Amino acid sequence: MRLGLALLALGWVLALGGGWAAHLVQTSGGTEVTDVRYPAPDGTQLSGLLYTPSGATPEQKAPAVLLSHGYINTREMQSAFAIELSRRGFVVLAMDMSGHGYSEGTVGANAFGGPAAFAYLRSLPMVDGTNIGMAGHSLGGAPILFAAKTNPDGYRSMVLVGSTPGIFGAPEGEGRTFPRNLALVFGQYDEFPDLMWQVPTGGDIVRSPRLQALFGTDGPVKPGQIYGDIAAGDARWLQVPPITHPWEHFSGSGVGTTVDWLQQTLEGEARPLPPQDQIWFWKELGTLAGLVGAVLLILGTFSVLSAVTQAPAAQPRNQTRDRRWWIAFLLTGALPALTYFPFMTLGQLVSAGPLFPQQVTNQLLVWALLNGLITLVLGLVLRGPAPRFQHRWWLSPLIALASVGMAYAAVLACSALFTTDFRFWVLALKPLDERQMALALVYLCPWILFFLVSHRAVAARISLSGQSARAEMAAWALAMSLGFVALLVLEYGALFLTGRLLTPAEPLNTIIAIQFAPLLAVIGLIGAFTYRRSNTYVPGAVICGLLITWYIVGGTATHWAASAA
């Protein structure tokens, strides 16, 4: 009981303390951060975070910037850019693309939401409507390109970060005439050089014929050199920092280069600062504390409720790490990673529809359920001594629901008090809106089914009698995550050595896989912790099903909606 209460107390301290610290950073200099909604042309509601610096008023209008995130991200992913721009005196709107985050509709609807976001930003009374810039990462280039095409004289400059004109039906570049005053930030180790610029590596972008046509030159483009004239609106600027695609919006070089160009091309920021003067990472540490706090709240709540309900301790029968144990350990880690790319490809056959409208979530479910089937078959082959579980089927799910509910209460509190969520880089937990909550109820059952199978296998094959809590939690976490750690080491080792991924045809799925290593480690920790205190894998499986459903549904994109059918 004392351990549970200590975890609960520490969890709340980290959640609220981290949210408060993140709030202080994102409101630095008196900036106000507001959750806003605005309509799309078809009547659907789009969402954004509005950063209003102190001093920006209807009487003293300020320059403004529209920011857009990439595919299966949300508006919060652009907070590094938003923080640095707003503390310099720019009004910033970090939009949710249509079908992402809290924006209704589907991916690509209403020109990805770009023109509506631009119109909303330009209509604000504190915004200088003649002094607006835009920046978008990856697919986020599409909404700002559509906004620029719709308002050819309504903006001054643009930054495409890891993106390209023409991306997924967005307007193509037109030499030096469109887009106006364009800066390109493309990582030397970007995973999408073929798709974006038809070159083999990110470093080869300087020799891309498409880029040369955009810059109006016949030879290789020189990074750091301004082509054209900012005053005339036909300037071009390229930077190729030594970073990957996900780092382009989570690095000092990606953020600094974007801020630098917008400070060069827009006028009237209240507090000009050097591009390298950045504080955004402290906000990420605050929301990371909240993320850790959420996990501790889950464990603490479970520990307290298990003690109150007198749950039995686990009684594993495995005695030693013999050959059978090592085979189970290695298979637990290796199989999910080995099947990841083929099963994600197979999952593309499960198209988004009325019941399961999120395409990427569908792919992940196919991967999970097929791995669950393989695990069942292997369980028949690797028969051996197994523990006797005491499931308490009626009580275990209720304790699991209360445990995740405590973490959800914490993120709701941080959202209401500080306009922050729990996140670090590509990992994020945020409140679900009504639409997402309904989707979560649909996706929840298959995820719980997968974790029931996988946690039973790990409890039966990996847990050892007599080992410490730390050893058991480490064993579960390593067994579940090491395969993806190895996969990422191979992929990114090849990328940093050669400029290309080991599987260059799988850039998106490789980036998605980055999340798996920490997520599966946390799932292993939760599974071992709950199993030791309840002698059943059921509550841990339900907790992980709830947690992963919340995580994925809130962080990916909707590809089908009744209005789009």
The domain that contains 239 carries what CATH number? 3.40.50.1820
pLDDT surpassing 50 at residue 26: yes
Residues 316 and 199 in one domain: no
Say if residue 175 is in the same domain as residue 286. no
Same domain, 186 and 328: no
Q: Is residue 6 part of a domain?
A: no
On whether both 259 and 123 belong to a single domain, the answer is: yes
Looking at residues 82-104, what average pLDDT do you find?
97
Please tell me what DSSP assigns to residue 537: S
pLDDT in tens, 136-189: 999 999 999 999 999 999 999 999 999 999 999 999 999 999 999 999 999 999
Q: Are 352 and 265 within one domain? A: no
- List, for residues 385-400, the tens digit of each pLDDT value: 667 788 788 889 999 9
Whether 564 is covered by a domain: the verdict is no
Same domain, 482 and 349: yes
> Which pLDDT value is given to residue 309?
82
21 lies in a domain?
Answer: no
Residue 430 and residue 476 in one domain:
yes
Total domain count for the chain? 2
Provide mean pLDDT across the span 544-555.
96
| 379: pLDDT strictly greater than 90 | no
Domain-located, residue 416: yes
pTM of the model: 0.95
- CA atoms of 535 and 538, how far apart (whole Å): 9
Contacts by 108-112 with C-beta closer than 8 Å and gap 24+?
108/142, 108/168, 108/169, 109/40, 109/42, 109/44, 109/564, 110/40, 110/41, 110/42, 110/44, 110/46, 111/142, 111/143, 111/146, 111/147, 111/150, 112/68, 112/139, 112/142, 112/143, 112/146, 112/170
Average model confidence (pLDDT) across the chain: 94
Q: Is pLDDT of 44 > 70?
A: yes
- Contact of 422 with 430, CB cutoff 8 Å: yes
Q: Which domain holds residue 397?
A: 282-559
Judgement on whether residues 341 and 433 belong to the same structural domain of the protein? yes
Residue 15 domain-assigned (yes or no): no
pLDDT band at 565; cut points 50, 70, 90: very low
Whether 272 and 214 share a structural domain: yes
**Binning pLDDT at 50, 70 and 90, where does residue 384 land?**
low
Which of 246, 278, 310 represents a domain boundary (last residue)?
278
Average pLDDT over residues 318-347: 90
How much is the average pLDDT of 308-322?
A: 74
Picking from 374, 160, 336, 354, the residue whose alpha carbon sits closest to that of residue 258 is 160
3 lies in some domain? no
Whether residues 471 and 505 share a domain: the answer is yes
Check pLDDT > 80 for residue 320. Answer: no
CB atoms within 10 A of CB 325: 18
* Alpha carbon distance 309, 315 (integer Å): 18
Span 293-303, pLDDT tens digits = 999 999 999 99
Q: Span 208-228, mean pLDDT?
A: 96
* Least confident window among 64-68, 141-145, 351-355: 351-355
Closest CA to 91 of 182, 11, 2, 30: 30
Q: Is the pLDDT of residue 527 over 90?
A: yes
Question: Which residue, 278, 293, 318, sits at the end of a domain?
Answer: 278
Percent of the chain with pLDDT over 90: 86
Query: Do 102 and 217 lie in a common domain?
Result: yes
Q: How does residue 488 score in pLDDT terms, banded at 50, 70 and 90?
A: very high
265, 330: one domain:
no
In tens, the pLDDT along 489-518 reads 999 999 999 999 999 999 999 999 999 999
Residue 484 lies in a domain: yes
Assigned domain for 341 exists: yes
Which residue among 278, 297, 326 closes a domain? 278
Going by C-beta distance under 8 Å and a sequence separation of 6 or more, which residues neighbour residue 550? 404, 408, 429, 432, 440
Kindly state the greatest CA–CA separation across the chain.
77
- Per-residue pLDDT, 385: 64
